[in-house]
Structure 1
Amino acid sequence: MKFEQYNISPDIKQSLAENGFRRPTDIQFKAIPSILKGEDVLAIAQTGTGKTAAFAIPMLEMLLRGKDPAPNQVRSLVMVPTRELAIQIAEAFDMIGKYTGLHIVGLYGGVEQEAQIELIEEGIDVLIATPGRMFDLVHQKKLDLRKVEILVLDEADHMLDLGFIKDIQDVKRLLPRKHQTLFFSATINKEIKDIAYSLVTNPIRIQVSPQDPVSKNVTHSVAYVEMDDKRFFLERLVREFPESKILVFVRTKVRAERVFEAMKRVGIASITMHGGKEQGDRMQVLDAFKKGEAKLLIATDVSARGIDIPNVDYVVNYDLPEVPENYVHRVGRTGRGVQKGKAVSFCSTEEKPVLEAIQQYIGKEITVMEIDAKDYDSTISLSEEIPNDNYKLLIKEFEESKEKAKRKKKKR
Structure 2
Amino acid sequence: MSFNSLGLSDALLKAINKKGYNTPSPIQQKAIPPILEGKDVLASAQTGTGKTAGFTLPLLQILSEQTTQKRRPVRALILTPTRELAAQIYDNVKEYSEFLDLRSAVIFGGVNQKPQAAQLRQGVDVLVATPGRLLDLCNQGLLSLKQVEIFVLDEADRMLDMGFLRDIEKIMTLIPAQRQNLMFSATFSKDIKKLAHGILNQPVHVEATPENSTVDVIQQKVYRVAKGKKIGLIIKLISDGNWKQVLVFTRTKHGANNLTKKLIAAGITAAAIHGNKSQGARTKALAGFKDGSIRVMVATDIAARGLDIPLLPHVINFEIPNISEDYVHRIGRTGRAGASGEAISLVSADETTFLRDIQKLIGIKIPVEIVEGFEPDPNASTEPINQSQGRSRSRNPRAKTGDRSSNKSNSSNSGRRSRERRR
- Segment of structure 1 superposing worse, 280-289 or 346-355: 280-289
What's 1:87 paired with?
Answer: 87
What's 1:347 paired with?
Answer: 347
- Segment of structure 1 superposing worse, 151-160 or 288-297: 288-297
Q: Distance in 1 between matches of 2:218 and 2:149?
A: 38
The share of aligned pairs that are identical, in percent, is: 40
- 8 Å contact from structure 2 (residues 6, 32) kept in 1: no
Partner SS for 1:337: helix
Q: CA RMSD in A?
A: 1.7
Partner SS for 2:159: helix
- Deviation (angstroms), 1:370: 4.0
- CA deviation string 1:221-274 (max 9, x = no partner): 111112211111111121123253100000111111111111122222111111
- Deviation (angstroms), 1:371: 3.4
- Segment of structure 1 superposing worse, 33-42 or 172-181: 172-181
- Deviation (angstroms), 1:70: 5.2
- CA deviation string 1:182-223 (max 9, x = no partner): 010111212221221121100111122225521112111111
- 8 Å contact from structure 1 (residues 72, 142) kept in 2: no
What's 1:398 paired with?
Answer: none
- Segment of structure 1 superposing worse, 281-290 or 126-135: 281-290
- 8 Å contact from structure 1 (residues 9, 61) kept in 2: yes
Mapping of residues 231-242 of structure 1, within 5 Å: 231-242=231-242
Q: Distance in 2 between matches of 1:284 and 1:69?
A: 38
- 8 Å contact from structure 1 (residues 217, 338) kept in 2: yes
Partner SS for 2:309: coil
Q: Distance in 2 between matches of 1:244 and 1:197?
A: 44
Distance 1:171 1:339, change over 3 A: same
Q: Distance in 1 between matches of 2:279 and 2:373?
A: 44
- Opposite residue 362 of structure 2, the aligned amino acid is I
Partner SS for 2:337: coil
Mapping of residues 128-277 of structure 1, within 5 Å: 128-210=128-210, 213-277=213-277
- Segment of structure 1 superposing worse, 67-76 or 308-317: 67-76
Q: Does 1:46 align with 2:49?
A: no
Partner SS for 2:307: coil
- 8 Å contact from structure 2 (residues 309, 333) kept in 1: yes
Between the two proteins, the alignment pairs up a number of residues equal to 377
- Segment of structure 1 superposing worse, 67-76 or 85-94: 67-76
- Deviation (angstroms), 1:375: 8.0
- Opposite residue 83 of structure 1, the aligned amino acid is R
- 8 Å contact from structure 1 (residues 273, 303) kept in 2: yes
Q: Distance in 1 between matches of 2:234 and 2:342?
A: 14
- 8 Å contact from structure 2 (residues 313, 342) kept in 1: yes
- 8 Å contact from structure 1 (residues 72, 121) kept in 2: no
- Opposite residue 202 of structure 2, the aligned amino acid is N
What's 1:76 paired with?
Answer: 76
Q: Distance in 2 between matches of 1:109 and 1:48?
A: 25
Name stretches of at least 5 consecutive residues in structure 1 with no aligned partner: 378-412
Larger radius of gyration: 1
- Opposite residue 36 of structure 1, the aligned amino acid is L
Partner SS for 1:357: helix
- Deviation (angstroms), 1:165: 1.6
Q: Distance in 2 between matches of 1:179 and 1:11?
A: 25
- 8 Å contact from structure 2 (residues 233, 374) kept in 1: no
Q: Distance in 1 between matches of 2:327 and 2:212?
A: 13
Distance 1:293 1:99, change over 3 A: farther
- Deviation (angstroms), 1:302: 2.4
TM-score, reference length from structure 1: 0.88
TM-score, reference length from structure 2: 0.86
- Deviation (angstroms), 1:60: 0.8
Q: Distance in 1 between matches of 2:121 and 2:268?
A: 47
Runs of 4+ in 1 over 6 A off after TM superposition: 374-377
Q: Distance in 2 between matches of 1:311 and 1:9?
A: 30
Q: Does 1:292 align with 2:292?
A: yes
Name stretches of at least 5 consecutive residues in structure 2 with no aligned partner: 378-423
- 8 Å contact from structure 1 (residues 306, 329) kept in 2: no
Distance 1:282 1:373, change over 3 A: closer
What's 2:391 paired with?
Answer: none
Q: Distance in 2 between matches of 1:208 and 1:267?
A: 41
Q: Distance in 2 between matches of 1:107 and 1:276?
A: 19
Q: Distance in 1 between matches of 2:211 and 2:251?
A: 27
